[in-house]
């Protein structure tokens, strides 16, 4: 596998919650060592398997607000009521200083804002679930949410789907193995101009 590249580009993976973007993002980060993850800041509670500083920077609402006031974010959103998420400027600097390309896993409004800021440096991919019913089923079965949180997430999905045509590409996540291959194709093409298997 080709692993060298001089970095400086961005990939945004965005989707309604539950469309499988985290699975796709994790796969790409494992596959290509020229990619690194943009760790977001959030005020939501840490889940059991999560690590502070790796999955998110977990901040109190006060800490988050202080950083907003200090103009430390590229973008931030109140994704769910009283749950804030945002991309720190220092995170983009951190990854680019290592010479890698950045991978974002963020919701649609933040994705639109980053795409507007970085333009052609940035490839923004909308991951589309095969259907709304399947999405709701996936969200329900992963059991990471309380009932109230699940309801909030489902309510948001319809609105998020309306953004699908605002991005550079749409990736349908029906069969995961196919979606992973398509995601690899998109990464290789944006980084190197063509996928590896077309190289002479």
Exactly one of 85, 95, 122, 173 binds ligand 5GP (CB under 6 A); that residue is 85
Could you say whether residue 59 binds ligand 5GP (CB under 6 A)?
Answer: no
Could you say whether residue 87 binds ligand 5GP (CB under 6 A)?
Answer: yes
**d(C-alpha 87, C-alpha 90), whole Å:** 9
Cα 47 to Cα 44, 50, 58, 136, 145: the distances in Å are 9, 5, 11, 20, 10
DSSP assignment of 39-93 equals PEEE-SPPPTT--BTTTEEE--HHHHHHHHHTT-EEEEEEEETTEEEEEEHHHHH
Nearer Cβ to ligand 5GP (2/170):
170
Could you say whether residue 86 binds ligand 5GP (CB under 6 A)?
Answer: yes
Could you say whether residue 157 binds ligand 5GP (CB under 6 A)?
Answer: no
Cα 41 to Cα 18, 59, 134, 191: the distances in Å are 20, 7, 29, 27
Q: Binding pattern to ligand 5GP, positions 65-84, x when CB under 6 A?
A: ----------x-x-x-----
Could you say whether residue 107 binds ligand 5GP (CB under 6 A)?
Answer: yes
Nearer Cβ to ligand 5GP (92/106):
106
User: Which residues contact ligand 5GP by CB under 6 A?
Assistant: 17, 40, 44, 75, 77, 79, 85-87, 105-107, 109-110
């Amino acid at each position: 596998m080709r692993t060298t590249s001089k970095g400086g580009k961005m990939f945004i993976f965005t989707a309604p919650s539950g469309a499988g973007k985290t699975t796709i993002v994790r796969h790409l980060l494992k596959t290509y060592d020229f990619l690194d993850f943009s760790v977001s800041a959030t005020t939501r509670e840490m889940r059991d398997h999560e690590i502070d500083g790796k999955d998110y920077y977990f901040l109190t609402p006060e800490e988050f607000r202080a950083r907003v006031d200090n103009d430390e974010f590229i973008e931030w959103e109140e994704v769910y009521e009283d749950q804030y998420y945002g991309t720190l400027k220092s995170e983009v600097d951190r990854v680019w200083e290592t010479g890698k390309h950045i991978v974002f896993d963020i919701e649609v409004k933040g994705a639109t804002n980053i795409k507007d800021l970085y333009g052609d440096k940035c490839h923004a991919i909308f991951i589309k679930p095969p259907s709304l019913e399947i999405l709701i089923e996936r969200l329900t079965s992963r059991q990471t949410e309380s009932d109230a949180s699940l309801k909030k997430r489902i309510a948001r999905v319809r609105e998020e789907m309306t953004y699908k045509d605002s991005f550079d590409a749409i990736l349908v996540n029906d069969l995961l193995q196919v979606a992973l291959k398509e995601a690899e194709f998109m990464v290789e093409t944006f980084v190197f101009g063509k996928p590896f298997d077309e190289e002479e």
